[in-house]
Amino acid sequence: MELWNGFKKEIKELFGRELIIVYPEKPNDRWVLKTEYFNAFPETEIKLVQKGYHLVHIKNKTRWHVWEDTEARAALAEYMHKELGLSKKCVIVGMSCGGMQGIYFGAKYPQYVSCMWLDAPVVNLLSCPFGLGKRVSVDMREEFVKNKGIDLPELLAYREHPLDFIPQLVENDIPVFLVAGDSDTVVPYDENGIYVDKAYRAAGRTIETVIKPGCNHHPHGLEDDAPILEFIEKYDVD
């Protein structure tokens, strides 16, 4: 096995996809599923592994989400439970497009999700990648069209934006810790994450939102990540 920040890391194939599992030294039965950008801003995940969590990532076909990726995550949850003896429920860590991936998964398969940390999540595809608002660039638009086969005219009538699946998260009261920068020019908060916050608060559901003053899209996470860790440990239950 390789090492990842001092912990054993296994890379294998599962369902025809690359699977990464980081093993804690003193494991419990909890696990974190990072839905995209496995090595990005890992400081908080390192602390979770130190606390006994397994850290897991299964490769997506595209960061812009196809339903095959959601189905692979559901199968992964069963695999982690049956083969490693872990809980069927995981903690979702979703940064940017990974937040979008987490929303789709939690909405369709709430039985596999205990809570979610969404960090500058893509929620509104008209905003990101298409830039019909504050976003300063549409540099990812071509990639999106290539991977999804959907261009702007179709997207105007599209009913599978991440924001269209927020009601399912609310209905199942999946606790959310939401982080965003107030100066994000890549995934503007008031065109994306704010929809999660408003829906949860309107329904009286469990959400904690931290808006970082003067912060652009990066860095993800918090300088003092204690609130994230405390939230996860509180709500990561079966």
CA distances from 161 to 100, 108, 138, 170, 220 (A): 9, 13, 17, 16, 22
Domains of the chain, residue spans: 2-235
Q: How far apart are CA 138 and CA 152, in angstroms?
A: 12
Question: Span 128-137, mean pLDDT?
Answer: 86
pLDDT tens figures, 103-132: 999 999 999 999 999 999 999 999 999 999
Q: How far apart are CA 53 and CA 233, in angstroms?
A: 10
Question: Span 72-86, mean pLDDT?
Answer: 98
Q: Which residues of 87-109 are buried (b: 16+ CB within 10 A; e: fewer)?
A: bbbbbbbbbbbbbbbbbbbbbbb
CA distances from 159 to 39, 55, 163, 206 (A): 31, 32, 9, 25
Residue 8 phi, psi dihedral angles, 5° rounding: -70, 130
Query: How many Cα atoms occupy the beta-carbon half-sphere of 44 within 13 Å?
Result: 28
Pick the CATH number of 2-235 from 3.40.50.880, 3.40.50.1820, 3.40.50.970, 3.40.50.300: 3.40.50.1820
Q: Tokens standing for 40?
A: 């990005």
Question: Span 187-210, mean pLDDT?
Answer: 98
Among 73-87, 135-149, 185-199, the minimum mean pLDDT is found in 135-149
Confidence of residue 134 (pLDDT cuts 50, 70, 90): confident
Confidence of residue 66 (pLDDT cuts 50, 70, 90): very high
pLDDT tens figures, 17-57: 999 999 999 999 999 999 999 999 999 999 999 999 999 99
